Chain A
Amino acid sequence: MTAGVKADIRVRGPWTLALERLRNDKAGKVAALVICALVLLALLAPLFSRLTGHGPAEQFLDIGLSPEGVPTGPSRRFLLGTDGLGRDLLVRIVYGTRVSLLVGLLASGTAVLVGTVVGIAAGWYGGVVDRILSRAMDVFLALPFLVFALALVAVVGSSLTISVTVIAMFSWASVGRIVRAETLSIREHAYVQAARLLGASHARIMFIEILPNVAATVIVYTTLLIPGAIVAEATLSFLGLSVVPPAPSWGNILSDAMAYYRVAWWFIFFPGAALVVSTLAFNILGDSVRDALDPKLDHDSGAAHEATP
């Protein structure tokens, strides 16, 4: 006698279901497209340079600045205008995309990796290990990020690497806490007991039983960390703590813009728009991913809202 699987229901795994939900999310799709466009821009930055004939650090003090020495607005020559040193703003903004995406992805990726490992270990081992790791997480959550970035850069000097490091250092703890909480509830499930009973090693249980079940949360968190990292990098470079000029980054362009905001609206508007658009796109995508992976939390769906105990 062979017991049959529910015959007339199409068989789909939990990931397939999530992908389907994503596919139906219009806002999410637009956001994803925007992000792809940004990635393209970042990759093709040198192309922009070649097409316009302007390098990102090339100063056009004669044609780029007005007779009073003030940046010129959008024109045929400089599509988005120039900055205080007559540099092509379009090219600089496109090159800035590289910095933002690189730092955003690297820093979040590192933070998520560290946070997940620490969170699962703390949740699974419990006891002393948990207490130490939790304390570490508490410390990093309590401390102000920017102040420390300042302190660090003062000694070590600013660079892209420092940027990534500092942002990762202050992001991993929130991931760790969430992952730890999830691990604590997952470890009570019978299938984890079954694995122990089979003689599975700790590493195997953490990696094969627990990790796939926190993966959904981790993915959501990654997409939400990225915009935070981008904003953090922009803030750091605004204060001169990230990439070294003349390398462009949206933050340091905006910092240069401070002196000219009364006379050069494009100087603030265009890099600002780039920042907002990228961050918004990641935020929207993050929301979509979260809704796709955990529809119970959706407060806006047409389905009746149930208070899950």
Chain B
Amino acid sequence: MTGRISRDGAKSDVLVSIEHVVKEFKVRSARLFARTKDIVHAVSDVTLDIRRGETLALVGETGCGKSTLARCVVRLHDLTSGRIIFDGQDISSASERAMRPVRRRMQMIFQDPYGSLNPRRRVGSIIGDPFEIHDLARGDERIRQVRHLMELVGLNPEHLNRFPGDFSGGQRQRVGIARALALRPDLMVCDEPVSALDVSIQAQILNLLGDLQEELGLTYLFISHDLSVVRHVSDRVAVMYLGTVVEVAPVHALYTHPRHPYTNALLSAMPIRAAERAGDRTEVILAGDPPSPMDPPSGCRFHPRCPRAQARCAIETPVLTRRLHDASEHVTACHFPLADGESLVSEAPAMALS
């Protein structure tokens, strides 16, 4: 993995270092005599760097653990094991009090514009929360700041006394963004920020996010299941499957020569807008049962659905490393990565789970 982790506190180009993070949830079984090990392996040994100023996208299907990982990064969840290092500081097991100054530097925008704002509070009060919690501005000064933030995200400052119910979905996301920006964080985690919005509004919000990144020097961890959205906003992309990272690459490289079969499948399912490519696209349909994070397959987790899987794949978990002749930035966790131009057409999985 590229990027240095600074040990002497000096500014390096890595803002967040995720090291071997594991997050498991214990599940209460509905059966009377439950197996003692009913555990959801949401995130299994993920190591990733987020570099200052970049937009790193985290993509994968529902249930792959991307949202959980994001919440681990901002410490909304405690880690089962592993470390999160934020700008040189290990925050993996910091107490709430120790976290307080760090919280100002990392914020999140949520997926659901309807659930992310308290319906009983006025929008101005919601945006003003960070100022109150960290005692940064009071009274008129706070109102001034709130209005400024509202303008920044494209809302009419006159509406700060309205309730969230009076705003549309896209506007509510803007409120959420304003709230997150109030403390001028370094890291913004965007958890599917446009998935719940109409396509026409999506573009507006994405543009806003891009403008804000330039203006304020933000670093984004952008989570999405939608590869078409990700393509236009990210610098690098990390693909997750069932709790593990299977491929990380600069965005152009990922879209032109993906290495991992799963990435290939995801890309092939993407709606294509360019008419000229539509003709020669074949969609890879993954056969086999969708797996359960409670009982993940051995070895490479994708092997039961992979058309290329061989015996080795069930035994040896592939490591994230350079494959073929890729640049050091492009790493893949696969024993039999795809070559340039290669694509998997619909085939039965080579090794189904017994």
Q: Which A residues fall within an 8 A CB radius of B?
A: 1-6, 9, 11, 13-14, 189-191, 193-201, 204, 208-209, 212-213, 215
Contact = CB atoms under 8 A, between A and B. Distances in A.
A194 B109 CA distance: 8
A133 B151 CA distance: 46
B179 A3 contact: no
Contacts of B162: 5, 11
A199 B108 contact: no
B255 interface: no
A198 B168 CA distance: 24
Contacts of B120: 14, 212-213, 215
Residue in A6, A198, A209 whose Cβ sees the most chain B Cβ within 10 Å:
A198
B71 to A, nearest CB: 8
A122 B154 CA distance: 40
Interface stretch (B27-35, B129-137, B229-237, B317-325): B129-137
A11 B134 CA distance: 31
Contacts of B174: 3
Contact of A4 (B108, B111, B116, B156): B156
A5 B159 contact: yes
Nearest to B121: A212
Nearest to B207: A1
B154 A200 contact: no
Contacts of A9: 166
Interface in B82-124: 96, 99-100, 103-104, 107-108, 110-112, 115-122
A200 B129 contact: yes
A3 B166 contact: no
A6 B162 CA distance: 11
A199 B154 contact: no
A242 B159 CA distance: 54
Among A190, A196, A212: residue with most chain B CB under 10 A: A190
Contacts of B176: 194
Interface residues on B, range: 35 or more
B76 A200 contact: no
A5 B154 contact: no
B155 interface: yes
A195 B155 contact: no
A4 B155 CA distance: 7
Given A11-B166, A195-B129, A3 B99 contact: no
Contacts of B112: 190
Contact of A199 (B134, B159, B179): B134
B174 to A, nearest CB: 7
Nearest to B171: A3
A14 B100 contact: no
Given A3-B170, A5-B167, A200-B133, 11 more contacts: A4-B156, A9-B166, A13-B165, A189-B116, A196-B76, A197-B74, A197-B108, A199-B103, A199-B134, A209-B121, A212-B120
Nearest to A191: B118
B170 A198 contact: no
A288 B100 CA distance: 45
B155 A197 contact: no
Nearest first, the 9 closest Cβ-Cβ pairs linking A and B are: A212-B120, A199-B103, A190-B116, A190-B110, A190-B115, A191-B118, A2-B156, A13-B163, A199-B100
A190 B74 CA distance: 14
